[in-house]
Amino acid sequence: MKVTHVQQWCLRLRNRAKLFLITCIMLAVVVNFILVSAMYSEDWGHISFFKDAKRQGNKPSRLQLKPNSQENQIHAESPKCMFYASSSKKTLFEFHKSHYMTVSVNGRLGNQMFKYASLLGVAAQYGFSPFLRQKSLLFSAFQSQKYFYHVSMKNDVSFEEHHAGIYDCRIHNLTQSKNITLNGYFQSWKYFHHIRQEVRKLFQFTDDIIRRATKALNKFHPGNRTLIGVHVRRGDMNTPRELQRGYKVADLKYFRKVFEYFRYEIENALFIVVSDSVSWVKANLAADDVVISETGIAYLDMAILAQCKHSIITSGTFGWWGAYLAGGKTVYYKDYPKPKSWLSEQYNKMDYYPPNWIPM
């Protein structure tokens, strides 16, 4: 049968239409993919159109938010070394009042708190009597005076840690025939995880500090808003020497992300910022829901952070402890210490940051 000219023409047209349709569908898929990935990429905060669209849709935030590890993470350096996770009252030995343990206390508030907490954790595990000298800064900040007394130890040895922020497994092998002085920073939650409730209790500030912190907070009329403590450490870590060693201050990108995260997660949030660089905060983080606390007194600032529900921290032990005492959700700056630096060799993030804290 012979095909007419008209039929041939129709056939050609149909093929072209099919091709056109397929091209359109493919184009639509590609464009859609690009738009969706732009919307959910980590930098979407800069694209205000999508920000608003997303907020109205009330979709959960898609920022990468995973706690940093499992609770019973075993340290890579010493695979046989577990820390004490349980809070059982049992100790390995009962050396109370025959064996003493203390720690050399220096540094500022955050550092001192790590030493104190780790001393208590290790002493509790081995049944030593822990004590701290009264001239420590902690003596005037906290209610409990239980462990502030003096013993002139005889027959004592020093235990020197290997790294400031890496759980030192040799702590499981302490001598049983001597008094012990811990020397180092002991910046790992693992040293005192088994007595965490007690640590929180011991770190209750004096009534006077709590009263002053509450007063400072009330000035912001928090009402029923959810308080989020933000510690912005910059000043002393932002010098060429410190930066070169691997100290690092959080950048604006971090704050954009983390603020956005909490604004999604928490309705009616109020951010309480504590910082050593107030002018930077004012210039960069100003917003309707951000207030700055300027007490200029370390233990007061920490009491303020501790009274907040959730925490945002940057670098250093001061913010770490504010977040630990607050006890809510904590987001930390994942690039501190700066990867591959001298300082980062002194820290294992699994040991330094509790596993339920969120790197960002």
How many chain residues are in contact with ligand NAG, going by CB under 6 A? 15
Stretch touching ligand NAG by CB under 6 A, among 151-159, 234-242, 256-264, 306-314: 151-159
| Closer CB to ligand NAG, 12 or 150, in the complex | 150
| Closer CB to ligand NAG, 88 or 224, in the complex | 224
Interface with ligand NAG, residue 154, by CB under 6 A: yes
Tokens 């302490």 belong to 174
Interface with ligand NAG, residue 75, by CB under 6 A: no
Length of the chain counted residue by residue: 360
| Closer CB to ligand NAG, 152 or 197, in the complex | 152
Stretch 220-279 residues interacting with ligand NAG (CB under 6 A): 223-224
The distance of closest approach from Cβ of residue 34 to ligand NAG in the complex, given in angstroms and rounded to an integer, is 39
List the one residue out of 22, 64, 67 whose CA is nearest residue 354: 67
Stretch touching ligand NAG by CB under 6 A, among 149-157, 240-248, 257-265, 344-352: 149-157
Interface with ligand NAG, residue 115, by CB under 6 A: no
Note whether 110 and 317 are within 8 A (CB). yes
Interface with ligand NAG, residue 219, by CB under 6 A: no
68 Cβ neighbours under 8 A, 6+ residues apart: 349, 350, 353, 355, 357, 358, 359
Stretch touching ligand NAG by CB under 6 A, among 85-93, 147-155, 246-254, 282-290: 147-155
Interface with ligand NAG, residue 153, by CB under 6 A: yes
Tokens 């949030």 belong to 269
Among 72, 155, 197, 279, binds ligand NAG (CB under 6 A): 155
Site string for ligand NAG, 162-201 (x = CB under 6 A): --------x--x---xxx----------------------
| Closer CB to ligand NAG, 243 or 266, in the complex | 266
Name the residues that contact ligand NAG, by CB under 6 A: 98-100, 151-155, 170, 173, 177-179, 223-224
